Amino acid sequence: MPMQPWFPDAKLGIFLHYGIYAVKGVPESWAMYQGQLSREDYLAQLNGFTAANYDPKAWAELFADAGARYAVLTARHHDGFALWDTAFGDLNVRQTPAGRDLLQPYADALRERDLKVGFYYSHSDWTHPLYASVRNQGEATWVNDNRFVGPPEGQPDDPAAWEKYLDYRDGQVGELMDRYHPDLLWFDGEWERSEAQWRLKPLAERILAANPQTILNARMLSYGDYATPEQGVPILPPDGPWELCLTVNDSWGFQGHDDNHKTVRQLVRYFVETIGAGGNLLLDVGPREDGTITAPQAERLRGLGAWIRRHSEAVYATVAGLPAGHHYGPSTLSADRETLYLMCFDTPRETIGLRGVRNQIRKISVLGSGEELSHHADHGLHDVPGVKWIKAPTTEDAYATVIAVELDGELDLYRGTGRV
């Protein structure tokens, strides 16, 4: 299946890590794995998970305000806790005071606002009784004898139990497909088994039989549609479609002590660097156990959205802009490749120098204010185009000023070294 066009056009998605880990505000699943809490204390959080103020309509409104076009919610993380009343496995919303399916209202609320629906789902499940039944065939020697992951030393693999575990996983994924018809499935946890052990081929076939347009992330290994760099804009962008997942503070889920929130200016920067290199940003928030999103996170989302609204022409449905070296900052390019959007994080002084562009320029203006900018060009030599010196604007955006450069046709770039 070729990539669904909505995905590269969307640019911004919101990632939600919502689960029982929000009750004590500990790292999602990892608090148990790494021993911060015993398994018993970790699972005791089931009793405190109320979803008392769960209002996915308010989420959807906030995400639309942020300028997002899709969202991805943790249907089930590595701790095995399912946010819906699944018929497979014992650990789900029915065992909590929340006591009801949380996924259908989420899917409905997003769709009402024309947002695409995504679910995160972990292949691994550290509390399922059959999960730790086999060793990872992808590991040269068995190093990880963690009790959550595989059988203890000396105990043989139990392939029949493993097959049953996979039936459970497939049953849950089948439910997600048949009940909620997601546009995107965001898998994780794949590193603990080999591709063959994960039985990914029939899983991918099952998903695509239910909806051939479902987008799958790279953690479906060979069946993935796009790359998923995490927590840092790649210096060299991956080939093909990709999406950077990034936390607003330093935590995926709610952790009350974590106040290291990125500023709106930093988020605008992450966002523009990502889309300028052809990617999407999947910006993560961690709701409290009652379902509310904290004020600092909501403010960051709204701040980013306000910048996007002022510059939507340079954002949605654009493609990656200039490679490094032509402009000191990221840029995007209109889908018809005839308008360049140059991003300026700092105040330009005197001029902005645009290098290696062969086209004539029709018009230059500042997005938002409409201020028109003049330019003059150096002569250049043979096929080496001269620098185009764009007059510095007098109107500026508080976070990133966008200069729209309308070309006389499709972008024609000089990529050479000169006469050496």
- Contacts to ligand GLC by CB under 6 A: 28, 188, 230, 245, 252
Q: Which two tokens stand for residue 80?
A: 């095995």
| Nearest distance, CB of residue 384 and ligand GLC, angstroms | 44
Handedness of CA 263, 266, 268, 271 (dihedral sign): negative
Closest CA to 172 of 119, 134, 98, 215: 119
Angle of helix 159-175 relative to helix 200-210, nearest 10 degrees, comes to 20
Looking at beta carbons only, is 257 or 415 nearer to ligand GLC? 257
Q: Which two tokens stand for residue 7?
A: 């995905």
| Nearest distance, CB of residue 419 and ligand GLC, angstroms | 48
Looking at beta carbons only, is 49 or 252 nearer to ligand GLC? 252
Distance CA 159, CA 294 (A): 44
Looking at beta carbons only, is 28 or 397 nearer to ligand GLC? 28
| Nearest distance, CB of residue 136 and ligand GLC, angstroms | 17
Radius of gyration of the chain (CA): 24
Looking at beta carbons only, is 282 or 404 nearer to ligand GLC? 282
Looking at beta carbons only, is 78 or 288 nearer to ligand GLC? 78
Distance CA 182, CA 266 (A): 31
| Nearest distance, CB of residue 245 and ligand GLC, angstroms | 5
Helix then strand count (H, E) for the chain reads: 11, 15
Looking at beta carbons only, is 49 or 126 nearer to ligand GLC? 126
Q: Which two tokens stand for residue 308?
A: 């996007």
Closest CA to 219 of 236, 234, 198: 198
| Nearest distance, CB of residue 32 and ligand GLC, angstroms | 12
| Nearest distance, CB of residue 73 and ligand GLC, angstroms | 12
Q: Where are the beta strands (DSSP E) in 140-191?
A: 184-188
Cβ 221 vs Cβ 200: under 8 Å: yes
Q: Is 233 left (phi over 0), alpha (psi -120 to 50) or beta?
A: beta
| Nearest distance, CB of residue 267 and ligand GLC, angstroms | 17
Looking at beta carbons only, is 254 or 341 nearer to ligand GLC? 254
| Nearest distance, CB of residue 214 and ligand GLC, angstroms | 19
Helix (H) or strand (E) holding 61, with range, is: helix 56-65
Looking at beta carbons only, is 75 or 352 nearer to ligand GLC? 75
Angle of helix 56-65 relative to helix 295-310, nearest 10 degrees, comes to 40
Residues 6 or more apart from 419 whose CB is under 8 A from it?
381, 382, 384
Looking at beta carbons only, is 74 or 332 nearer to ligand GLC? 74
Helix (H) or strand (E) holding 377, with range, is: strand 375-377
| Nearest distance, CB of residue 99 and ligand GLC, angstroms | 25
Amino acid sitting at position 110 = L
Distance CA 110, CA 66 (A): 13
Distance CA 177, CA 189 (A): 19
| Nearest distance, CB of residue 72 and ligand GLC, angstroms | 9
| Nearest distance, CB of residue 188 and ligand GLC, angstroms | 5
Looking at beta carbons only, is 242 or 252 nearer to ligand GLC? 252
Looking at beta carbons only, is 35 or 323 nearer to ligand GLC? 35
Helix (H) or strand (E) holding 282, with range, is: strand 280-285
